[in-house]
């Protein structure tokens, strides 16, 4: 069990499951309220949950121990996350969850491209084919035929 909890695959699958639940719960929760307010509620819940988690696990870290470069990129990541959530909730408010979520998952394609361009990560030809298939699949899921 310990090996499972230490594997990135376990946590990545958990992320996918919870992301799927996020879309379904959010679509229902958006009924009768604005998408920006819904994003605010979601953010408050996440902040509270993380506060409890850090307290229970004792993993608080003194801000002074975080390197300036890490601060910069974590702040940029937070801004990107906020923008993503605002866009995602607006899209869910306007569209079908079964269409919005696959387009949102085009982030997988963009991460592969950005990682190759900016982080110097190398993907094999087989991996690039898989990335292209994800893109094609996401686009196909948006079509109403």
Provide the b/e sequence for 12-27 (b: ≥16 CB within 10 Å): eeeeeeeeeebbeebb
Question: What DSSP character marks residue 64?
Answer: G
Residue-wise pLDDT for 25-84, tens only, equals: 999 999 999 999 999 999 999 999 999 999 999 999 999 999 999 999 999 999 999 999
**Backbone phi, then psi, for 32, in 5-degree steps?**
85, 5
Q: Would you mind telling me the total number of residues written for the chain in this entry?
A: 145
pTM of the full predicted structure? 0.82
Matching residue, tokens 């079964």? 98
Q: Report the alpha-carbon distance of residue 115 to residue 111 in Å, rounded.
A: 6
Q: Report the alpha-carbon distance of residue 24 to residue 28 in Å, rounded.
A: 7
């Amino acid at each position: 069990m310990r090996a499972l909890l230490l594997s990135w695959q376990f946590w990545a699958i958990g992320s996918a499951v919870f992301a799927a639940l996020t879309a379904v719960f959010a679509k229902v929760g958006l009924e009768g309220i604005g998408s920006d307010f819904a994003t605010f509620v979601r953010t408050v819940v996440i902040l509270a949950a993380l506060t409890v988690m850090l307290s229970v696990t004792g993993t608080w870290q003194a801000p002074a121990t975080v390197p300036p470069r890490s601060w910069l990129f974590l702040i940029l990541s937070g801004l990107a996350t906020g923008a993503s959530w605002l866009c995602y909730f607006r899209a869910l408010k306007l569209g079908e969850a079964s269409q919005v979520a696959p387009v949102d998952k085009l982030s997988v394609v963009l991460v592969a491209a950005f990682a190759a361009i900016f982080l110097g990560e190398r993907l094999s030809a087989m991996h690039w084919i898989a990335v292209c298939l994800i893109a094609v699949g996401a686009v196909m899921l948006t079509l109403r035929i």
